[in-house]
Amino acid sequence: MHQQSQPHSIAKSSPRTWQDLARCVTTHVNPDTFFELAPEAKKICARCPVKTNCLDTALEHSEVFGVWGGMTVAERNRLKLERRLKFTNAGAS
Ligand code: SF4
C-alpha cells in the first residue's frame, strides 16, 4: 500500500488544488478502497470531477499501486504503452 501518494493525503498538505475537488476526498471514502477494492474504487472515480488530473498525475509519477483516475496499474501501463506506440507510429509516418 502506498497511502502517501493518494489524492486524499495530497489534499491535506496542498489546499486549493485539484485534489480538493477529488471525490475520494469530498466523500471521505476509506483510502484502502483504492488499493484493495478496485471495482468499488472505479465506481467512485467514474463520478470524480478531477479524474483526468488524477490519471495524468499517476501516469506522470508512474504510480505502481492502487486505482488512480479510474484505472488500475495494469490499465495505466496499457495506456502508457498505447500512447508510446501511437507516438512512435506518428513519428514513423
Ligand atoms: S479519480 Fe478517483 S482516485 Fe482520482 S481523485 Fe478522483 S476519486 Fe480520487
For residue 45 and ligand 1, the question of a CB distance below 6 A is answered with yes
pLDDT tens by residue, the chain, 93 residues = 233 445 645 545 545 899 999 999 999 999 999 999 999 999 999 999 999 999 999 999 999 999 999 999 999 999 999 999 998 998 876
For residue 44 and ligand 1, the question of a CB distance below 6 A is answered with yes
The helix/strand/coil state of 68 is strand
Contact 33, 40 (CB under 8 A): yes
Hey, CA dihedral for 46, 48, 54, 58, is it positive or negative? negative
CA distance 68 to 2: 12
**Nearest atom (ligand 1) to Cα of 25:** 8
pTM: 0.82
**Pocket mutation for ligand 1, best pick of 5, 12, 34, 37 (most atoms within 8 Å of C-beta):** 34
For residue 10 and ligand 1, the question of a CB distance below 6 A is answered with no
